């Protein structure tokens, strides 16, 4: 994998379960309603790639995308 990973939360799918924040708080924040969004531009810092995939796998609404930039 040569590119950087990015995470993105689809705001139309997110239902505020906050599992991503619990599992990968370095990558996600919650809004005033408890819905998640990626921090910054969604770039995953080196060493946190596994957490990005863990958050995606544990999202009950499949609202998280992990892509290679």
Q: What is the CATH number of the domain that holds 40?
A: 3.30.70.20
Domain count for the chain: 1
Express each pLDDT in 10-52 by its tens digit.
999 999 999 999 999 999 999 999 999 999 999 999 999 999 9
Closest CA to 34 of 21, 51, 53: 21
Domain carrying residue 32? 5-68
Q: What is the pTM assigned to this prediction?
A: 0.92
What is the spatial distance between Cα 69 and Cα 65, in angstroms, rounded to a whole number?
12
Best CA proximity match to 40, nearest among 53, 51, 28, 55: 28
């Amino acid at each position: 994998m040569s590119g950087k990973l990015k995470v993105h939360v689809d705001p139309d799918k997110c239902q505020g379960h906050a599992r991503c924040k619990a599992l990968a708080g370095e990558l996600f924040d919650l809004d005033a309603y408890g819905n998640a969004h990626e921090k910054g531009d969604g770039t995953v810092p080196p060493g946190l790639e596994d957490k990005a995939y863990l958050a995606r796998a544990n999202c009950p609404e499949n609202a998280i995308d992990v892509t290679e930039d």
